[in-house]
Amino acid sequence: MKAGVYYNNRDVRVEEKPVPSLGDREILIKVMASGICGSDVLEWYRIKKAPLVLGHELAGEVVETGKGAAFKKGDRVFATHHVPCGECIYCRNGNETACEVFHGENNFTPGGFSQFLKVSGRSLKTGVFKLPKNMSYETATFIEPLGTVVRGQRAAGTKKGDTVLVIGSGITGILHIMLAKHLGAARIIATDISDYRLSAAKKAGADSVINANEDVPAEVKRANNGRPADRVIICAGALAAAEQALRCVDKGGVIIFFAVPLPGEKVGIDFTPFWRNDITVKTSYGAAPRDNKEAIRLLASGAIKADSIITHRLPLGRIAEGFALAASGKDCLKVVILPNEV
C-alpha cells in the first residue's frame, strides 16, 4: 500500500508500506478521508519522531477483522488513536486526557495518511465509532477536532448569553465559533492576523472580528458595550496571543489555553487582578470518548456544518502540497487527504 511519510513540514513522501496484518480483536480500515491537524504541522512536536506516518482525524470502511473484533466487514467508521483507560483517578474525576494511558498508547498502525490502517488495543473498544448513515467520510474527519473543541468549551463553561472571544481563527478557532454560537453565546468576537481567516470567522458566525495587530483589549470592549469577554479561548500558539488574552477577560470570566506558546516560553501573569476579580485560567487538551460522541451528535444533526470549512481535498499523491498548505495557513483552513485517491 501507499502511505504519506512525514520527515518535516517541507518533506512528506509517498512511500510503499506493507498492509498491516491482523491479530485477534483488531480491524483493518480502508482509509477514505484523513484531515491534516494543526498538531501534524507543529514541527517541534513532530520532527523528533520522524520519519513517521501521521494522521489521526480519519474515517473509512472496515475491510477485514480479527477474531473477536466487535465490527464487521463493510462498517463505516471513525477511529481515534489515543483513548484513556477509564479506570485511573484522572479518568474517574473527568480528566481523561490527563490519563497516562491516553498519552502513552498509540493504537494505529501506521497512521491515517495511508491507504489501510490497523486499529488495535483500547482504541478498538472505546475509540472506534460507527458513522451515522447521513454522515460522509469527509464530515467524519471533524469528529476528533470537534471533540477537542467540545471538551474545551465544557471547561470554559460557555453558556447562553455569554460574550466569547476566540483568539486565533484557524480551523479550531472556527469550530469554537460554531460551537459557541450553537451554545447560545450572545456575542462572539474573533481575532487573527490573516484577513482570509477573519473573513472565514465572520462566515462561521463571529459577530465582530479584530486584526490581532490592533489594540485587541480596547477593540473587544468597543465591540462588547465597553466590557471585556466572559470566555476567552486561545487558539493561537503565539506568546502575544496568550498575553492579549490575559487583558481581555471580564470579572468572573474564564480563559482557556486551548493552544499554548512554544516550550520554554513563559507567560507573565500579575495575579492580583485575577485574584480580586474571580478570574479562572484553565487548559484543555485532546478529546475523550464522551467528547467524540457529542461531536458525532452535533455533526450528524447539522448543528455544526463542518464541511463548509474544508478548503482543500487532495489525493494521497499530493500530500506534500497539503502539508505545505496547512503549515503556511495562507488561504487555507482545512486540508483533507483522500488516501485511496492516489
Which bin fits 174, alpha (ψ -120 to 50), beta or left (φ > 0)? Answer: alpha
- Which amino acid, residue 184? G
- Which amino acid, residue 143? I
In a shared domain, residues 319 and 235: no
pLDDT of residue 56: 94
pLDDT of residue 199: 97
Judge whether 297 lies within some domain.
no
CA distance 327 to 159: 33
In a shared domain, residues 158 and 270: yes
In a shared domain, residues 82 and 157: no
Nearest alpha carbon to residue 335 among 8, 33, 11, 87: 33
Dihedral angle, C-alpha 38, 42, 43, 47, nearest 10 °:
-90
Assess contact for 115 and 31: CB atoms under 8 A: yes
Q: Residue 154 to residues 111, 149, 329: CA-CA distances in angstroms? A: 29, 8, 27
**The three three-digit cell numbers of residue 275, written as one number:** 485574584
In the chain, the number of structural domains is 2
Judge whether 74 lies within some domain.
yes
Judge whether 263 lies within some domain.
yes
Beta strand pairing call for 163-167 and 187-192: parallel
In a shared domain, residues 217 and 257: yes
Nearest alpha carbon to residue 297 among 57, 78, 69, 33: 78
pLDDT of residue 32: 98
CATH of the domain at 230: 3.40.50.720
In a shared domain, residues 38 and 119: yes
CATH of the domain at 93: 3.90.180.10
Nearest alpha carbon to residue 107 among 131, 132, 129, 126: 126
In a shared domain, residues 6 and 99: yes
- Determine the structural domain holding residue 126 and report its residue range: 2-142+304-338
Judge whether 189 lies within some domain.
yes
Judge whether 231 lies within some domain.
yes
In a shared domain, residues 55 and 31: yes
Q: Residue 342 to residues 125, 311, 317, 337: CA-CA distances in angstroms? A: 31, 19, 5, 10
In a shared domain, residues 185 and 267: yes
pLDDT of residue 43: 84
CA distance 328 to 339: 22
**The three three-digit cell numbers of residue 281, written as one number:** 485560567
In a shared domain, residues 122 and 159: no
In a shared domain, residues 158 and 129: no
Assess contact for 69 and 27: CB atoms under 8 A: yes
CA distance 73 to 10: 37
pLDDT of residue 41: 87
b or e along 95-124 (b: 16 or more beta carbons within 10 Å of the residue's beta carbon)?
A: ebbbbebbeebebbbbbbbbbbbbbbbbbb
CA distance 232 to 158: 10
In a shared domain, residues 213 and 112: no
CA distance 70 to 63: 13
In a shared domain, residues 9 and 82: yes
Judge whether 291 lies within some domain.
no
Judge whether 259 lies within some domain.
yes
146 in helix, strand or coil?
Answer: helix
Judge whether 192 lies within some domain.
yes
Residue-level pLDDT, tens digit, the chain, 342 residues = 999 999 999 999 999 999 999 999 999 999 999 999 988 888 878 888 899 999 999 999 999 999 989 899 999 999 998 999 999 999 999 999 999 999 998 899 999 999 999 999 999 989 999 999 999 999 999 999 999 999 999 999 999 999 999 999 999 999 999 999 999 999 999 999 999 999 999 999 999 999 999 999 999 999 999 999 999 999 999 999 999 999 999 999 999 999 999 889 999 888 898 899 999 999 999 999 999 999 999 999 999 999 999 999 999 999 999 999 999 888 899 999 999 987
- Cα angle, residue 210 at apex, residues 207 and 214 outer, rounded to 5°: 160
- Which amino acid, residue 340? N
pLDDT of residue 178: 98
**The three three-digit cell numbers of residue 317, written as one number:** 499523491
